[in-house]
Amino acid sequence: MIQRLLGTMPAWATSDHPVLRSHREAKRGKSGGRYTRIAGALLSLVILSFIGYGAASDFFTHDPLDLPISEMLTRGLLYPVYMVQIVMVGVVLMSTIGMIGHYQRRGLWDTVRATSHGAGLTLRTRWAHLLFYRLRGSLAAIMGGRLVLIAALLYDLTAFQGEYLRSLTGGITPDVAPVAAVILLALTMAAVLLLPVTTLGLDAALGLLLATYIKRRAYVALAQITIITVRVMVSLALLLMFSTLSTAPLDSGGWLAWVLVFAFAALGDWGFSLLYLGFYGAEVWRDIPYGVLIGAALMGYVLLQALLADALLGYATRRAERAD
């Protein structure tokens, strides 16, 4: 995972690798299936646009164009992106937890293991196929939403000839110079862009590790339902707590507010809300001591996720190679 973050790809993760190509070809359905996916994507786009417009217009009671552009974009994109991310987590876990059991039921697992490092290579290429090929459309969509908010954030920073940033850093704890605030904002933006990749990569690695333990269809289904339900409930609980917190004075929460904002960014919306300075700068920095460091902490969390994903994927491949 660290290599992928640095822009280098191992041979088994490139599109011309034969094992990875077999995963891609197996997922290519007939033209009817392709058309169904296109129709589903268009329908999802319409539904998500409706939800986003409803959120931006405060349930269709106001014109969202009356809002500042950064606030309008944040309101309009937050819930659609949030929903797409939850679906992506579900797809990753559904596609990985039952992988080995599926191969065994089709009588393919013994053939895979008969080749040198075949089992481990199959798991690694499944991981790469999910992240960089099967989900690339959805990943591009949520990355696009982040880039839109980053553009709005940079536009806000130029407001009032740069004095907006000085007003955000005035009187916060700890006291930071505008240059330091820019560096911390850069870390925040980088972390928010990387979080989808590391989060999905860690989920995929965890799912593949579980696949080496759980192979019977009934147990696979139970594990999938349980883990996905827990993930969705945690995300929704964090969203509910965050929504409650965002309407109350943040300074009343102290360190608990810091933890909640960080947890929501790391496990809930994957940092999306931190790209809106009207919340992150004007409220979190001002009202939560050391809130300005949440973005830097989030970058540390990104690196930790990448290391864990590498460790879990490596352990899963070793187990797959030696398991009976």
Alpha-carbon torsion, ordered 80, 84, 87, 93, to 10 deg = -150
Task: Please choose, from the candidates 105, 308, 133, the residue with its C-alpha nearest in 3D space to the C-alpha of residue 220.
Answer: 105
Burial code (b: 16+ CB inside 10 Å, e: under 16) for 110-120 equals eebbeeeebbb
pLDDT tens digits, 132-158: 888 999 999 999 999 999 999 999 888
> Per the structure block, which two tokens stand in for 106?
């089709």
State what percent of residues in the chain have pLDDT above 70: 86
Collapsed DSSP state (helix, strand, coil) of residue 110: helix
Residue 235 per-residue DSSP state? H
pLDDT tens digits, 262-311: 999 999 999 999 999 999 998 899 889 999 999 999 999 999 999 999 99
pLDDT tens digits, 53-104: 999 998 888 999 899 999 999 999 999 999 999 999 999 999 999 999 988 8
C-beta of residue 270 within 8 angstroms of C-beta of residue 200: no
Using alpha carbons, list the distances in angstroms from residue 236 to 71, 233, 268: 22, 5, 8
Quote the CA–CA distance of 132 and 88 in Å, as a whole number.
13
- Average of per-residue pLDDT across 15-20: 64
Q: How confident is the model at residue 246 (pLDDT cuts 50, 70, 90)?
A: low
Q: How confident is the model at residue 29 (pLDDT cuts 50, 70, 90)?
A: low
**pLDDT value for 220:** 93
Q: For the chain, give the number of residues.
A: 324
Tell me: pLDDT of 259 over 60: yes
Quote the CA–CA distance of 126 and 313 in Å, as a whole number.
11
pLDDT tens digits, 185-231: 999 999 999 999 999 999 999 999 999 999 899 999 999 999 999 99
Question: Is the model's pTM score more than 0.85?
Answer: yes
> Per the structure block, which two tokens stand in for 154?
């940079």
Quote the CA–CA distance of 49 and 70 in Å, as a whole number.
17
Tell me: pLDDT of 247 over 60: yes
Q: How confident is the model at residue 30 (pLDDT cuts 50, 70, 90)?
A: very low
Question: Residues 6 or more apart from 135 whose CB is under 8 A from it?
Answer: 88, 91, 92, 200
C-beta of residue 127 within 8 angstroms of C-beta of residue 201: yes
C-beta of residue 246 within 8 angstroms of C-beta of residue 168: no
C-beta of residue 271 within 8 angstroms of C-beta of residue 145: no
